[in-house]
């Protein structure tokens, strides 16, 4: 059994969102995500489903062409091969548990790396 203690895992980075891998198998990946105000996971569309459980703070989740406001207690899902991204509000840290199944490949995260390099939430429009 893997027990997750958000307080013990908590780590923030001034430059970019941070994640702490808490479980991974061939079928699923579970991470704690920590976002300083305004930080984001750039929009990308991997071939995995994602469940996002917002623990604290506020922000938005992109699901295709829609953006949904999220706050503590919200659980949202985005289906595989659908554009998705997560962004903390400019005035709030955001903490969330993210579960992806199956885990995305390294190649599927290229838009994430590109968006972080160029500071673009949605690098798919570039």
Tell me, yes or no, whether 4 lies in a domain.
Answer: no
Number of domains in the chain: 1
CA dihedral 30, 33, 39, 43 (to 10 degrees): 10
Q: Which structural domain range is residue 105 located in?
A: 12-125
Tell me, yes or no, whether 6 lies in a domain.
Answer: no
Rounded to an integer, what distance in angstroms lies between the CA atom of residue 80 and that of residue 109?
13
pLDDT in tens, 54-106: 999 999 999 999 999 999 999 999 999 999 999 999 999 999 999 999 999 99
| CATH code of the domain covering residue 45 | 2.60.120.10
Look up residue 83 and give its two tokens: 């554009």
Distance of CA 25 to the CA centre of its chain: 18
What's the CA angle centered on 89, arms 80 and 101, to 5 degrees?
A: 20
Is pLDDT at 124 greater than 80 in this prediction?
Answer: no
pLDDT score recorded for residue 58: 98
């Amino acid at each position: 059994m893997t027990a997750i203690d958000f307080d013990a895992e908590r780590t923030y980075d001034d430059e970019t969102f941070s994640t702490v891998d808490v479980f991974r198998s061939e079928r699923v990946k579970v991470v704690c995500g920590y976002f300083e105000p305004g930080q984001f996971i750039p929009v990308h569309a991997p071939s995995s489903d994602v469940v996002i459980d917002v623990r604290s703070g506020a922000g938005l989740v992109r699901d295709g062409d829609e953006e949904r406001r999220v706050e503590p207690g919200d659980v949202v899902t985005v289906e595989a091969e659908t554009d998705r991204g997560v962004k903390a509000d400019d005035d709030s840290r955001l903490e969330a548990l993210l579960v992806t199944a199956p885990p995305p490949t390294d190649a599927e995260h290229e838009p994430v790396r590109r968006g972080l390099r160029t500071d673009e939430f949605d690098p798919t429009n570039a």
